[in-house]
Structure 1
C-alpha cells in the first residue's frame, strides 16, 4: 500500500522513521529515532481520551499494515522491530481499554445463562440476542432508498480499507484455535477466499464493485480520505486477530459480522440497482446475502460456541468482540448519516477532493 499522508505528530514520526530506510543494528541514529518516537507516543497518549483520533488510528493502521501487505518502499524488517512492537503496544493498549469501556454496557446487559458452561447453543443464543438489537441509524436502509451516486461511492471508499483485504484479520486466529472452532473458521474463510478461485475472492469482488462505479479498486488508494472511525473499525480487527489472548474477541467479532450481514447486503445491492448499476457492481453484495445466511450459523454455534465450549473462560471476550462491532458500527453509521443529512461529505474534508481524482 502507498505510504499515507501523516495526520499528526505520531503518524508523522512513524512514517518518517520507516520510510527513512531499513532498521539499524540497534545503535546510532536509527535507535535514537525509535526511542524518540516511543517517548513522543508515551507523552501524547497520556492525554488522549477519545481514541477515535486521526493521528492515533492512522499510526496504528500503518503499524498493523506491516503485518499484511506492507507499505510501499518500507523495508520488511520493520515488521518485527522490537522498538516498533513496543510503540504498537503503547497505542493499542489504550485503544483496547477504550473499546472495552465502549462495549461494557452492552455486554453487561446480555442475559447470561444460569449454568457456568453455556455451551455452543447457549453462546450462539447470546450472540443472536446482541445481533438483534437496534444499533442506531441504518446506513443500509438509506443506501437502499435515498443515497445518491456520490454517497454510494463514499460508502465504498470507507469500506475499502477492510473489504479489499477481507478475511485477512480473522485469518490470524486460525493457528490460535483448535478442534471445532478451528474447523468452523477455516470453513468460513475458505468461502471468503473464493474456494480456491481468485476471481471469487470477496476482496476481488469488492474491487470490481469499486471499478464498476468509477473508483480505483487498488488497495489503499483512498487511505488519505477515510476518517478515523473507518480506520478504527479495521484496527479493531487487527488488534483482536494479532493478539492470541484476544482469540475470543476475534471469534465474537466474526460471529457478529456474519450474523448482521445478510440483510444489510441485500439492501446495499438494492440501492445500487436503484441507481442503475448492474450485476458487475452488485455481485459482491448479492454473494454475501446467501453466504452470510449460512455463515451466521457456523460462526455463532461452531466458531464462537465451539470455542466457549472448549474454553468457558473466553465467553466474556467473545461477547466483548461482538459488542465492540456494534459500538463501532453505530459510531460509523452516525458519522455517515450526520454528514449526509447535513449535505456534507463523510470523507476527510481537507482531502475529499482526492477521492474523485
Structure 2
C-alpha cells in the first residue's frame, strides 16, 4: 500500500471511541463522504435527547458536541473540512445546543444585574469572582497532589489549553469600538504577540511534554469525562453563536478573573514535586498576564460592551456565571475523585 494511501487512512481514522448511539453515528458519518450528507442525524439527536436527564454530564451528548465544534476549529485532522457547513450537522448541533443552553439557563443562578456602565459591571464581576475559603482543586494541587494526579490535571486541561484563546476569538469580528480593542489586546497576549514560543497553547504543549505526556490535540479525549468536554463546549457554543456575544464576553471576563491566583498554586504544586521550568512556565506566565487581563476584561471588554449594548447586560452575567459554575463542577469532580483515592479520568490515558 502506498505511503499516500496510508496517510489518507490515518487522516480519516478517529483518535477516540464513541460513547453512545449519537457519537457512534456521528463518527460513522464523519468517516464517510460529505457528499452523502447525514439526513438521519437530526432526528436521531432529537430521539436521543428525549432520554437524557442531564446533557452536561452525558458522555454521548458532550462528545458529539465536541466533534461538531471541532469541524469549525479544524483541530481534528480526520474531519473533512467539507463537513463544516453541512446543513445536516448544523441541524443536529442546533438541537444539542438548545438543550445544553436551556439546562444552563435553568440551573445556573445569575446575580442581580448592575447598571450598564463599565465601572459598575467590572465591580459586579470582581465580586462574583472573588476567592472563597475552603477546599479547592488549586489548593490541593499546591499542597497534596501526587505526580500522577498532576498528570491527570494536565490531561483535563489539554482539551481547552492546547487551543487556548481560540473559542473567545470568534467574538472579535462581532465587536466594535473599545470592547473590540480590549479583546484584541487580551488575545494578542494569548497568541504570543506574534512570537510562536510565547503562544500560551505552545507553552502548554511544552508543559505536557515536560510532564511525560503527549501534546497532540485530541490524544486524551477518551480519558476525560463529559464535564471536561462540557467546559470546552460551553466556550465553543458561546463563541460560535452571534446571538450569544454577551455570554462569550462574560465568560472570558470570569475566566481571566479566576486565573491568576489558581495558576500561582498550580505552579507551586508542580515545583513541590520537582518539575522544572519547562513544566511550570505556563502557570507562572498566567500569574502575571492574567492579573493584567482581568482588569481589561472586566472594565474595557465586558464593561465597554455593556455600555455600547446594554441589552446584552443579562447575557454578559449569564456567561460569567456559566463559566464559574461549569468550571467549578469540573474542579469539584476532580477533587472529589482524588479525595476518594480514585482517578478523576473516565478511562486510563493510553500510552
Under a length normalisation based on structure 2, what TM-score does the superposition of the two structures give?
0.93
Does structure 2 retain, via aligned residues, the 8 Å contact 1:137–1:334?
A: no
- The aligned residue for residue 213 of structure 1 is 211
Q: State the SS of the aligned residue for 2:141.
A: helix
Does structure 2 retain, via aligned residues, the 8 Å contact 1:57–1:231?
A: yes
- The aligned residue for residue 331 of structure 1 is 329
Residues 1:112 and 2:109 aligned together? no
Residues 1:246 and 2:251 aligned together? no
Does structure 1 retain, via aligned residues, the 8 Å contact 2:260–2:291?
A: yes
Shift of 1:135: 8.9
- The aligned residue for residue 60 of structure 1 is 65
After superposition, the C-alpha distances for 1:195-237 in whole angstroms (9 at most, x for unaligned) are 1001110000001001001001121111111110100000000
Does structure 2 retain, via aligned residues, the 8 Å contact 1:154–1:346?
A: yes
Shift of 1:72: 2.8
Shift of 1:118: 2.6
Structural RMSD (CA): 1.4
- The aligned residue for residue 307 of structure 2 is 309
The equivalences for 1:214-229 within 5 A come to 214-229=212-227
Residues 1:5 and 2:17 aligned together? yes
- The aligned residue for residue 202 of structure 2 is 204
Relative to structure 1, the CA distance from residue 135 to residue 162 in structure 2 (aligned partners, 3 Å threshold; closer, same or farther) is farther
- The aligned residue for residue 96 of structure 1 is 101
User: Which shifted more, 94-103 or 282-291?
Assistant: 94-103
Match for residue 176 of structure 2 among 152, 175, 178: 178
After superposition, the C-alpha distances for 1:128-172 in whole angstroms (9 at most, x for unaligned) are 111016397411000000000000000000000000000000000
User: Which shifted more, 323-332 or 287-296?
Assistant: 323-332
- The aligned residue for residue 27 of structure 1 is none
Relative to structure 1, the CA distance from residue 6 to residue 136 in structure 2 (aligned partners, 3 Å threshold; closer, same or farther) is farther
Does structure 2 retain, via aligned residues, the 8 Å contact 1:137–1:330?
A: no
Under a length normalisation based on structure 1, what TM-score does the superposition of the two structures give?
0.92
How many residues are matched? Answer: 338
- The aligned residue for residue 45 of structure 1 is 49
Relative to structure 1, the CA distance from residue 353 to residue 194 in structure 2 (aligned partners, 3 Å threshold; closer, same or farther) is closer
Relative to structure 1, the CA distance from residue 166 to residue 70 in structure 2 (aligned partners, 3 Å threshold; closer, same or farther) is closer
- Stretches of 4+ aligned residues off by more than 3 angstroms: 133-137
Q: State the SS of the aligned residue for 1:296.
A: helix
Relative to structure 1, the CA distance from residue 227 to residue 333 in structure 2 (aligned partners, 3 Å threshold; closer, same or farther) is same
After superposition, the C-alpha distances for 1:32-69 in whole angstroms (9 at most, x for unaligned) are xx222221111111232211210000000000000012
Residues 1:288 and 2:289 aligned together? no
Provide the rounded CA distance (Å) in 1 between the counterparts of 2:155 and 2:94. Answer: 28
Q: Which runs of no fewer than 5 residues in structure 2 stay unpaired?
A: 1-10
Does structure 1 retain, via aligned residues, the 8 Å contact 2:113–2:313?
A: no
Does structure 1 retain, via aligned residues, the 8 Å contact 2:113–2:317?
A: no
Provide the rounded CA distance (Å) in 2 between the counterparts of 1:137 and 1:68. Answer: 35
Residues 1:264 and 2:276 aligned together? no
Q: State the SS of the aligned residue for 1:67.
A: helix
Match for residue 352 of structure 1 among 336, 345, 348: 348
Shift of 1:284: 0.3
Residues 1:18 and 2:22 aligned together? no
Shift of 1:112: 3.4
Does structure 1 retain, via aligned residues, the 8 Å contact 2:118–2:303?
A: yes
Provide the rounded CA distance (Å) in 2 between the counterparts of 1:135 and 1:43. Answer: 43
Q: Which runs of no fewer than 5 residues in structure 1 stay unpaired?
A: 25-29
